[in-house]
Chain A
């Protein structure tokens, strides 16, 4: 088990720069998700780590070994890094057994290693099948078993679940997660699905415009995003204007505690990030209740929860507020409500 380190990685194709100084640290045995929109360079990053492309500048290291420093470079077959490409990329002319055994020596292939691996990923009965006879989920498992066969020091997964349909995806995702946990292999997972990144990974790194904008634990990223773009990329968000006081933000939703981890803003006024689930919405029952007054304009009901779009009645507040409530607390459009927020919140830089 080794940690994987990427420092100042630069890579482009022709005149088009793709990665412009990527820094990424993957702790040994962790699962790190690299999250980014399609075309942001996620796959290129994986390809450089795997050794299919060379770095132009920067350094890639696995444990004590330098894999690529922009001058010398270790070919992929000597890196000990497993790679699971999109849609599995199984060798179409080989059976499941031959695919999984591809990287093994003849002795290992005979010794029942392949059967163990197939057992491990839960497809022991499919050894003799050809890839086109497998479902998408099965193909993914074979690809995983194949990559794990050589006991790699690190494992790279390139959008491994994106080709699966929604119901299957959750299932396979959980299984793979449990498997990787059990193996304790240092893993980099590349994805454009923020839900997948947040729910699976120990560490999430967000790649944007060729560099990592923020890296941290899922909750840290979700609660304290570096900027507004990142905040909305990770989930629905309310950006609320605020006046800053020491340790607190004064907003139309009341005075909210500021998160201590983030340095307080130097300026006196700005905005804070308030996630929809931080809003408490109550129907107004006459009287003068505390909190912001508003009216539900639309209710999107998802079953387990509901997203309310609320038009504040306060003069001057024009933006709609998004509030997430439990499904059983959904309110029909037109309901008069009061809205309060639960802190702490994070100030936007």
Chain B
């Protein structure tokens, strides 16, 4: 039965002809190319605008005493806030996850909720109650209270998943509880904490609203002022480059400190419950500290909103315009969420199903906006539209594109998690059962990634709805969103009129944050049940 013909020797070079590009599905390649172009566009045009008047001008604008002051302001704020967030975040996470604290589930939710309040609303809350609050320490206070959940969340998750065996081994080797924490526990959660700290630093560099309210000048505030009030696009773009450099420095700093992904995982043994430290006499002080933290981060802003709304209702409550602003916000945010989610599909398809160096690079580029402040994205888009597409300038489309670029990383993260659950194999089986490529995708892959698409939509929607900085620069003239209307009233010190807008924004973002914290705790709790 052997019908063997001798196999011919074949040139190995031949294998190359049909690799790389040609194996990518055309639609995914086109979508990914569009996403990359959109992400890089603002950065490119910030640079183009900055060197418009020549590099000499750039140098003159950069090497000023004023810039040194801004740099110092930004760096000292960044350091203080990041350290404070790390201490608060890890400390609170340890108390909740590793001690026998009363009402654990409640604390787990309360400590995350400040994430649902936009930073500028926290600033508004504090400053509207105490007008004397301004300057460095006010900025540190407001930003720390707003951002510590970015460390708390990953730290709590990591602490809940810590391998109890390692700690027990350390104790049996003669280390005390404190040294065990530093030498074993901290090492296990270090990457999570560092990742959180990076997010804090990037958020600080991008923040405008809270610093404007607390009258503290950072780069972002200065850039905004130069552009919006000084009409000096060149100076704004030059300073933006410094801001981007600071973001890159933060990213590199995290890498240097060991944040690079490293396969450090112990065996896949059965997860054993970690022991809970009884607090004993410390119960009351710990409870008091957590209560104070929640009161400051959650209580004060919410109290301020309620207070000003109660005051405002007696004077002017423009309910009609709030509905209008809400409608615009929803419209822009939903469009941006659809766009970002749609772009995330080809990006993740390529990086998961057609994994090679180029597609991995493309995926990294998609994460770039994490390090791009909203202000820089907005400036870049303005600079682009003024040159090449004037009709786009301050159009709804431009704002929507800005949101989509800014929050593309969120969409990619969410869709990626789902795409992993929808292997190409399934689609291939569908093809072998007689379905064309599109039909197989619609009937198999789409239903499987639907939960990820919903999550991506929700994340981008919420982030867009509470975005302030880019919105202020890009919103169509005469069209107000919740954020811009809130800002307009706050700038006039019409706190009573501003408060309802903030309340609606808090309501929009608080629900998913609440769900997020809930989803985390039962899992952690169930492991110990």
Instruction: Tell me the smallest distance from the CB of A232 to a CB of chain B, in Å.
Output: 20
Known pairs A13-B19, A52-B432, A216-B1 / 14 extra A-B pairs, C-beta < 8 Å: A7-B5, A20-B7, A21-B8, A50-B428, A54-B18, A57-B14, A77-B432, A93-B447, A147-B432, A203-B1, A212-B4, A215-B2, A215-B3, A217-B1
Tell yes or no: A229 within 8 A of B by CB: no
B: residues with CB less than 8 A from A are 1-5, 7-8, 10, 12, 14-20, 356, 421, 423, 425-426, 428-437, 440, 443-444, 447-448
Closest B residue, CB atoms, query A54: B18
A186-B421 Cα distance, complex, nearest whole Å: 32
A103-B426 Cα distance, complex, nearest whole Å: 13
Contacts A91-B444, A215-B2; is A83 near B7 (CB within 8 Å)?
no
The residues of A that contact B431 with a CB separation of less than 8 Å are 51-52, 75-77
Contacts A21-B7, A83-B429; is A103 near B448 (CB within 8 Å)?
no
A272-B2 Cα distance, complex, nearest whole Å: 21
Contacts A50-B432, A77-B432, A77-B435; is A10 near B426 (CB within 8 Å)?
no
A51-B433 Cα distance, complex, nearest whole Å: 12
A2-B64 Cα distance, complex, nearest whole Å: 82
CB-based contact A8/B7 at 8 Å? yes
Closest B residue, CB atoms, query A7: B5
Contacts A15-B16, A16-B15, A150-B434; is A92 near B448 (CB within 8 Å)?
yes
Tell yes or no: A82 within 8 A of B by CB: yes
The residues of B that contact A21 with a CB separation of less than 8 Å are 7-8, 10
A13-B12 Cα distance, complex, nearest whole Å: 11
A70-B430 Cα distance, complex, nearest whole Å: 23
Question: What are the nearest 3 A-B pairs in CB distance?
Answer: A12-B15, A103-B433, A21-B7
The residues of A that contact B428 with a CB separation of less than 8 Å are 47, 50, 52, 76, 83, 85
CB-based contact B430/A102 at 8 Å? yes
Instruction: Tell me the smallest distance from the CB of A133 to a CB of chain B, in Å.
Output: 17
CB-based contact B429/A89 at 8 Å? yes
A87-B151 Cα distance, complex, nearest whole Å: 40
CB-based contact B17/A56 at 8 Å? yes
A7-B4 Cα distance, complex, nearest whole Å: 10
A: residues with CB less than 8 A from B are 7-8, 10-17, 20-23, 25, 27, 47, 50-52, 54, 56-57, 75-77, 79, 81-83, 85, 89, 91-93, 102-103, 146-147, 149-150, 203, 211-212, 214-217, 220
A75-B18 Cα distance, complex, nearest whole Å: 16
A76-B427 Cα distance, complex, nearest whole Å: 11
The residues of A that contact B12 with a CB separation of less than 8 Å are 12, 15, 17
B425 is contacted by which of A56, A85, A147 (Cβ under 8 Å)?
A85
The residues of B that contact A215 with a CB separation of less than 8 Å are 1-4
CB-based contact B432/A81 at 8 Å? yes
Closest A residue, CB atoms, query B16: A15
A8 is contacted by which of B8, B18, B20 (Cβ under 8 Å)?
B8
A92-B423 Cα distance, complex, nearest whole Å: 11
Instruction: Tell me the smallest distance from the CB of B433 to a CB of chain A, in Å.
Output: 3
The residues of A that contact B18 with a CB separation of less than 8 Å are 54, 56
Instruction: Tell me the smallest distance from the CB of B178 to a CB of chain A, in Å.
Output: 45
Instruction: Tell me the smallest distance from the CB of A149 to a CB of chain B, in Å.
Output: 8
Instruction: Tell me the smallest distance from the CB of B134 to a CB of chain A, in Å.
Output: 55
22 CB contacts below 8 A, A to B, read A7-B5, A8-B7, A14-B15, A14-B356, A15-B15, A17-B12, A23-B4, A25-B3, A47-B428, A52-B432, A56-B18, A76-B431, A77-B436, A82-B432, A83-B429, A85-B425, A89-B423, A89-B429, A91-B426, A93-B447, A103-B435, A215-B2
The residues of B that contact A12 with a CB separation of less than 8 Å are 12, 14-16, 19
